[in-house]
Amino acid sequence: MSDISYNQAILMFADAGLAALATSAETSSSVKTPAGESHFLCSWMVNALKKRTFSKLIADDLTFWTRQARSMGAGAELKLLLQKISQQYSYIADKQQGLALSLKAMLTELESSDWVIITNQEVTKKLKLNSDGRSSLVISDEQFSQRIDNDELIKPITLYVRAPEQAFAEIAYKHDLLLSAGNKKTSLIKHHKSYRIWPKNMQPALTILQPLTS
């Protein structure tokens, strides 16, 4: 599995976990309760870690989720987690082309929704943006001008965003963009979080997950 991408590895893992849960539920009524599902999936993940069943790219995720399940029980909502991963990464699997167009379309939508959008200023040191309470998004001019080639992203681009994270992630997802988790510590703009988008949506870690859709 050395040549597998994170996206492929996490989707394979989620689908395998849901399939294993469904198979177990056919023979055991105890697995059909939230607590039973959590216990089963936690044990399944622990075994997967021990046997190295899945790519090492997701080993840290599995470790974190098993710790959560052990401390939170059914509150960890492992089944829902796997369902969200399966839904989102299945959808995005063929959304690898034209991501620069997707980014620009998203910026246009945000601007029309009264966001402050800045892409023509160099961001190399800590800055403060006065947006009068409006949501805002900043991309350094160097990245916006040099990391896009026609319709495609050719290198990761950092977005500095001040807005409710889940709402922003939903807009990005609507435009077929996977976002990294937001990070305040790495942000160069005060009161903003830094996010990254990657060429071909090949994030090296879990994206911000969306609610399940029917």
The reply to whether 159 and 82 lie within a common domain is no
Residue 54's nearest CA partner among 13, 18, 111 is 13
**Per-residue model confidence (pLDDT) at position 132:** 84
Contact 11, 90 (CB under 8 A): yes
Q: Do residues 68 and 115 share a domain? A: no
Residues 191 and 132 in one domain: yes
Q: What percent of the chain has pLDDT over 90?
A: 85
Q: Which residues contact 111 (CB under 8 A, 6 or more apart)?
A: 117
Residues 180 and 161 grouped into a single domain: yes
Residue 192 maps to a domain: yes
On whether both 64 and 127 belong to a single domain, the answer is: no
More confident residue, 3 or 9: 9
How many structural domains does the chain have? 2
End residue of a domain, out of 92, 109, 127? 92
Whether 129 and 193 map to the same domain: the answer is: yes
Within a domain: residue 214?
Answer: no
> Are 83 and 163 contained in the same domain?
no
Confidence band (pLDDT; 50, 70, 90) for 2? low
In the 8-state DSSP scheme, what is residue 150?
Answer: T
- Domain-embedded: residue 144: yes
* 61-114: pLDDT as tens digits: 999 999 999 999 889 999 999 999 999 999 999 999 999 999 999 999 999 999
Give the residue numbers spanning the domain of 69: 6-92
Domain boundary pick from 47, 70, 92:
92
Q: Considering 42, 70, 92, which residue would you say is the last residue of a domain? A: 92
Which tens digit of pLDDT belongs to each residue from 170-210? 999 999 999 999 999 999 999 999 999 999 999 999 999 99
Q: Give the predicted TM-score (pTM) of the model.
A: 0.92
> Is residue 28's pLDDT more than 80?
no
Name the token pair of 46.
């622990």
Q: Which residue has the higher pLDDT, 29 or 101?
A: 101
With respect to residue 157, please indicate whether it lies within any of the assigned structural domains.
Answer: yes
